[in-house]
Amino acid sequence: MNKGRSGRKKPHSVGEVTGVEVDRRRKRPVKITIYGHAHSYQVAWRNTDDGPIITDLAVSSDEQRAITTDDLKRINAKTLALAARRYDTDSAAELGQTIGALMEADAALADAMSQRSPADRVAGYLTWLEGSGDEFCADLAADMRQAAKAPDLSDLADQIDAAWQKRGGSFVILDRVIDGAVAIEMEKRGVAPRKGRGGRPPLTREFLEQVAEWAREAKDLNIRNPANYILERAIPVRGYEVSPAMVKKWIRRCKDDGLLADDALRRPKLAGED
């Protein structure tokens, strides 16, 4: 969850994907939650020449809420299919098994997460990640420490608490993505976060490719304002405050350079949206 420099979380819009779980042991391996919807969706999917499609769908609610005709009309199969394709990957499944197994086996994590102080919970969680023996977990902890804004790291508490509440052998993405995992992926692509002070980094082809990928991700998650989504992702990478006007110029460059189609950010309106 990227709160930007202001420390304030930007509100979601109705229809945006806010949570994805992947557990390939299930008949419908992908569970998706959508902002403004009373129910979650468990889906099976497959790719076709025309893009991903949903082949099996279950609608449910933890509170056992009734499913109405209006609820069914709000289901956007395309959004569910795109989110499933983006996150139901071999690497996500492998990561889910690793983190799930660690959470099941290690009582030290439960002790850490039982602390009343948010700062103590964060410190215990990161220490547990670092001592897990798993390379991804160690890298994630290091990146989260670097991304923290508060000296005691307590600004990470919300996302860590949410991840803990959703534990259990499946890969969970809450509030779009975990910042640390995103940063690690960007580094693998050669788009490393800025360290230290100095002039602004050049606008490279590699960074524009990352902007284009953020734009596609925003569309897959049905984000109403892709520019804001890109802005949030870009701040830790660029190392300075990013303005909406700057993001619009990047998007224009991506289109001019053939990295994005002219209609790439067009978002279909969901039934029931304002």
Whole-prediction pTM value?
Answer: 0.55
Structure tokens at 204: 């490279």
* pLDDT at residue number 109: 74
Say if CB 208 and CB 250 are below 8 A apart: yes
* pLDDT at residue number 269: 55
* pLDDT at residue number 69: 93
With a pLDDT cut of 90, the percent of the chain lying above it is 22
Q: pLDDT, tens digit, for every residue of 145-174? A: 887 888 888 888 877 776 666 554 333 333
* pLDDT at residue number 64: 84
- When the pLDDT of each residue in the chain is averaged and rounded to a whole number, the result is 76
* pLDDT at residue number 92: 66
In whole angstroms, give the CA distance from residue 118 to residue 222.
Answer: 32
Task: Give the DSSP per-residue string, the chain.
Answer: ---TTTTPPPPP-TT-EEEEEE-TTSSS-EEEEETT-SSEEEEEEEEETTEEEEEEEEEE-TT-PPPPHHHHHT--HHHHHHHHHHH--HHHHHHHHHHHHHHHH-HHHHHHHT-SSHHHHHHHHHHHHHTS--HHHHHHHHHHHHH--STTSGGGHHHHHHHHHT-SSSEEEESS--HHHHHHHHHHTT-PPP-SSSSPPP--HHHHHHHHHHHHHHHHTT-S-HHHHHHHHHHHHHSS---HHHHHHHHHHHHHTTSS-TTTT--PPPTT--
Intervals of the chain under pLDDT 70: 1-11, 91-107, 134, 136, 162-200, 267-274
Structure tokens at 185: 């992926």
